[in-house]
Amino acid sequence: MNARRTLLELFDAALRAVDGRASVVRALRGYPIDSPVALFAIGKAASSMTLGAFDTLGGRIESALVITKDGHADPALARDHCCTVLQSAHPVPDERSLAAGDALIERLRALDARILPLFLVSGGSSSLVEALHDGFTLEDLRALNQRGLASGWDICRLNAERATLSRLKAGGLVRLIGARRAIALFISDVPGDDVDVIGSGLAGHDAGREDAIERRIVANAESAAIAVTEAARARGLVIERRETRFDGDAVDLAHEFVAALRIMPVDGLVWAGETTVTLPAVVGQGGRNTHLALTAATRLRATEKFTILAGGTDGSDGTTEDAGAIVDAGTIERAEIGGIDVERALRGFDSGAALEAAGDLVYTGPTGTNVGDLLIGIRAAATPPGRGP
């Protein structure tokens, strides 16, 4: 068995299971929608989810506003006359985030009463679209995001802090549309699939206010992890799924995962969730998944036949364009042969450079989904490294 190829195939199976286009098609098929629709898609998976809505609703969509991360816009949407695509900033907002917020508010306020709003929300929305309370500036917002990312705040705390500045977070769409009927479909990247946390609660509930939004989770981390176990079974492997989402510090999780691999009674493990890292003032190349992967590689003994994938289901890791990495017991040696001081790379959060030197980075490009991170480990002989497709 080629362990790296197997891990890439398992990761691909997970991505297909939570693909935004397919997930929205499944959710809308047979849904009772008779009125014309105004579509509002926001997040890293916005383009893919929008394509699913067009597949299902077709000509019933009178207009569509798609707000997504740079490089995540599907060119097919730009060719549709009723579709406006705005590419915005992530993970730190910029002027485009405020312009996208203005466009969203303007469209919702002008919406004809006969038209049904359909919201498609996925992770990344918090940075991509924003409107601020009086007295706050873009610099205040950027400073808050950077402070939260550097300090390792979990998504719940970061969202709570964002809501103090924002007119859109914590039920902003409810405040804009009032009690009119609407549908909101979510791809979840947060603990408990809480709609009041996904996208900082953009399409969540506004405390103390009644609303008529029908909300549904269409894809989540559990679905991705289950797809890994099923794809493994088709290959004659037994992979055990951890039913609770992981969180907390990436280094601690790396140690925990390697320890779990050593005592597992099966062929492999799959865990889903999202870690945090606390960053120094100056950082190198990489993200939480590469930091976790490189830390795990330092824990592997030369004789241990484990291969580990740590990857973001959105296809990106931190500010990089890599999804994560695949490591084994030879990773550290390969990085050092490539001229990297691994301990220094870990201290300086330059894990991406170390794993690039080792040939262990995984690149997928934008995936059309975002359900958090996956950690997959299998017991298999190490194989020659190579950048993942």
Query: For residue 309, what are the β-bridge partners?
Result: 326, 376
Instruction: Give the integer Cα–Cα distance in Å for 366 and 156.
Output: 25
Q: Provide the terminal-to-terminal Cα distance of the chain, rounded to the nearest Å.
A: 18
CATH superfamily name and code, 20-219: Glycerate kinase, MOFRL-like N-terminal domain (3.40.50.10180)
Q: What are the φ and ψ backbone dihedral angles of 175, each rounded to 5 degrees?
A: -65, -25
- Structural contact between residues 108 and 117, judged by C-beta atoms closer than 8 angstroms: yes
- Quote the pLDDT of residue 383: 44
- Looking at residue 1, what is its pLDDT? 81
351 within 8 A of 360, measured Cβ to Cβ? no
User: In angstroms, rounded to a whole number, what is the distance separating the alpha carbons of residues 209 and 320?
Assistant: 40
DSSP β-ladder status, 37-42 and 116-121: parallel
Closest to 387 measured CA to CA, from 361, 369, 350, 365: 361
- DSSP codes joined into one string, 162-199: HHTTBSSTTTHHHHHHTTSEEEEEEE--SGGG-TTTGG
105 vs 168: CA distance, rounded Å: 9
Task: Name the nearest CA neighbour of 349 among 308, 290, 305.
Answer: 290
- Tens digit of pLDDT at every position of the chain (389 positions): 899 999 999 999 999 999 999 999 999 998 889 899 999 999 999 999 999 999 999 999 999 999 999 999 999 897 777 999 999 998 888 999 999 999 999 999 999 999 999 999 998 888 899 999 999 998 988 888 778 877 777 777 877 787 788 899 999 999 999 999 999 999 999 989 999 999 989 999 998 788 999 999 999 999 999 999 999 999 999 999 999 999 999 999 999 999 999 999 999 999 999 999 988 878 899 999 999 999 999 999 999 999 999 999 999 998 889 999 999 999 999 999 999 999 999 999 999 999 999 999 999 999 999 999 999 999 974 444 554 43
Alpha carbon 369 to its chain's center: 7
DSSP run (H or E) holding 15:
helix 3-17
The domain segmentation of the chain, as residue ranges, is 3-15+222-379, 20-219
As its CATH architecture, domain 3-15+222-379 has 3-Layer(aba) Sandwich (3.40)
* pLDDT at position 388: 46
Query: How far apart are alpha carbons 331 and 250 in whole angstroms?
Result: 18
Cα separation, 383 vs 6, in Å, equals 11
Give Cα separations from 111 to 57, 169, 185 (angstroms). 19, 20, 19
Report the distance separating Cα 374 and Cα 235, nearest Å.
19
Distance between CA atoms of residues 10 and 238, nearest Å: 12
